[in-house]
Amino acid sequence: MESQQLHNQLNVIFLPFPTPGHMIPMIDTARLFAKHGANVTIITTHANASTFQKSIDNDFNSGHPIKTQLIQFPSAQVGLPDGVENLKDATSPEIISKISRGISMLQDHIENLFQDLEPDCIVTDMCYPWTVESAAKLGIPRLYFYSSSYFSNCASYFVRNYRPHDSLVSDTQKFTIPCLPHTIEMTPFQLADWIRVKNSATSVFDVIFESEKRSYGTIYNSFHELESDYEKLGRTTIGIKSWSVGPVSAFTNNDDEKKDNKGHIGKEAEWLNWLNSKENESVLYVSFGSLTRLSHAQIVELAYGLENSSQNFIWVIRKKDKDEDGESFLEDFEERMKESKKGYIIWNWAPQILILDHPAIGGIVTHCGWNSILESLNVSLPMITWPMFAEQFYNEKLLVDVLKIGVPVGAKVNKFWLNTVEEEVVKREEIVKAVEILMGNGQEGKKMRMRARKFGDAAKRTIEKGGYSYNNLIQLLDELTSLKIARELEKSRLDN
């Protein structure tokens, strides 16, 4: 039977967390479910929906059963202007905490929706641990949506449980992460602060990880060919089922019009013309994802590093509040780059998938956000790794030590909105060195580019019919359908 017909009785709710790195892959996954026949409802707020509604409407008009269920973000109650509902819109830590408070105020409303919509399964972001109880009340499975690598989940698990860093005398000393199939060394400074020392955030994360164990299974936006050792280890370690169904952006972004829906395009024609004027694989794409905003000191070093390197570049810069120093420096820099045609700056938000797809791009400087990594691999790009916070330092280790497709720039400290301290700033010389290794003619760079191509080919194959990720998705939908049928049989047995 065609998968669409088999799954068309299945009602699945997706609950994304409003930050691009979590929301974008979940929306892509929701669209995939609907493509295979499941009836999908995405619960989200108005401003968040506006960033992807067009894709959902297109899918619906092509016959895929998918819709959004909109809820009102409590802007006035938390003191935010209308439309600031996503963490990427925060220009200060105060705004981040107001948005987070707004999100947590939605819990009751969402629970009521779960009851009204009568789902057969809920797929919810890791940041909603309370949905385990919601699913239990409804007698349905909760799938935990993890938007990073198996590797990072395993590494974090073993660091949290064995605390190898506790016995060190200094935060710059190295320790080896226990129980992993590769030798992975890190320093305590590269761990998230709530792992390094227990603080109020530690218990918040403990609840999240505990909720994973109590979930029916985990969906990963990853693929077997990329990290099979860690896929296996992740299953035995966490002790629940998991499905790698990625790279999900490659499933859904098969034409430019769809890629455009991921954010506003800005001066598309200009960047495109600029890239069109460059030779194949000659440009470095530089981005730190949707949340990181660099300090002025770091911006200066990066600007000179890029200017002094032998490569052209496109750099996406997200502005902070009250950064007058930064503004005049960057205006001068932008002007200089325009004249020399060496660099192109995109302010705040770039159409990343479109840019990465352009033949002129030859590599990326990345903060090691998992989506950016997968989006780069999809188009076979090797990376300069420059992790900033959260699990990004683990992802760097995967790229550099395991997959060997990344050149580390030498980031030392795990901190959100970092680099206010002089020693934490990555210097221009280190940036130039990494760029020359990655993009230059040396053997190391060539080998990395070859390996990245191999993973790019695997990423394309795995989502095609018969590929690992494709089969995993079908197997997951089949399993959810069987669970639904079993539940209904049990109900009618009890009714009779």
**Interaction with ligand UDP in 11-30: which residues (CB under 6 A)?**
20-21, 24
Among 29, 242, 372, 472, binds ligand UDP (CB under 6 A): 372
Among 349, 451, 453, 458, binds ligand UDP (CB under 6 A): 349
**Interaction with ligand UDP in 304-333: which residues (CB under 6 A)?**
316
What are 364's strand-pairing partners?
Answer: 285, 383
Q: Quick one: DSSP state of residue 188?
A: G
Between 165 and 367, CB nearer to ligand UDP: 367
**Interaction with ligand UDP in 123-152: which residues (CB under 6 A)?**
none
In 215-372 the beta strands, taken as DSSP E runs, fall at 217-220, 241-244, 283-287, 312-317, 343-347, 361-366
Catalytic annotation present for 125 = yes
Site mask, ligand UDP, residues 256-295, x = CB under 6 A?
------xx-----------------------x-xxx----
In 3D space, the residue among 176, 238, 168 whose CA is nearest the CA of residue 196 turns out to be: 168
* Residue 350 lies near ligand UDP (rule: CB under 6 A): yes
* Residue 379 lies near ligand UDP (rule: CB under 6 A): no
Least distance CB 379 / ligand UDP (angstroms): 12
| Cα–Cα distance for residue pair 34/300, rounded to 1 Å | 46
Q: Indicate the length of the chain as a whole number.
A: 496
Least distance CB 372 / ligand UDP (angstroms): 3
Residue of this chain nearest to ligand UDP (CB atom): 21
* Residue pair 197/163 in contact by the 8 Å Cβ criterion: no
* Residue 370 lies near ligand UDP (rule: CB under 6 A): yes
Angle at CA 389, nearest 5°, toward 387 and 395?
50
| Cα–Cα distance for residue pair 231/469, rounded to 1 Å | 12
In 194-269 the beta strands, taken as DSSP E runs, fall at 217-220, 241-244
Between 47 and 483, CB nearer to ligand UDP: 47
Among 120, 301, 375, 396, binds ligand UDP (CB under 6 A): 375
7, 59, 125, 165: which is the annotated catalytic residue? 125
What are 312's strand-pairing partners?
Answer: 283
Other Cβ atoms within 10 Å of 332 Cβ, number:
11
Distance of CA 105 to the CA centre of its chain: 24
7, 22, 36, 64: which is the annotated catalytic residue? 22
In 3D space, the residue among 357, 396, 385 whose CA is nearest the CA of residue 186 turns out to be: 396
Catalytic annotation present for 256 = no
Least distance CB 417 / ligand UDP (angstroms): 12
| Cα–Cα distance for residue pair 100/80, rounded to 1 Å | 11
Task: Single out the segment in contact with ligand UDP by CB under 6 A; choices: 206-214, 307-315, 344-352, 465-473.
Answer: 344-352
Count residues binding ligand UDP (CB under 6 A). 19
Write out the catalytic residue numbers.
22, 125
Interface residue list for ligand UDP (CB under 6 A): 20-21, 24, 262-263, 287, 289-291, 316, 349-350, 352-353, 369-372, 375
